[in-house]
Amino acid sequence: TQSRSSAASDVYKRQDLYFIDVLSIQCGDKGNNCKIISEENNQFLYFDHDHFTLQGAKEFGFKLKLNYPNLFE
């Protein structure tokens, strides 16, 4: 069967929209490997339950660009 994000992506592509599964970018495909501390410099990636620190935003942006390079062209 198709994953939730894959099925959503198919629908959105037909409408020239993008679905970005933020959870899978941050926490892996299964959503169960979320890091809260940067492996680069041991800084926190979040300052509360839902919001990135500056370090977290930088690392998420890097991952986003790796996974969806066409959004940055």
pLDDT at 58: 97
More confident residue, 73 or 67: 67
How much is the mean pLDDT over the chain?
84
Q: pTM for the complete prediction?
A: 0.72
Judge residue 58's burial from the number of C-beta atoms within 10 Å of its C-beta, 0-12 exposed, 13-18 middle, 19 or more buried: middle
| Per-residue pLDDT at 12 exceeds 70 | no
Please give the average per-residue pLDDT across 32-59, as a whole number.
94
pLDDT at 30: 85
- What's the rounded Cα separation, in Å, for the pair 29 and 5? 10
Please give the average per-residue pLDDT across 21-35, as a whole number.
88
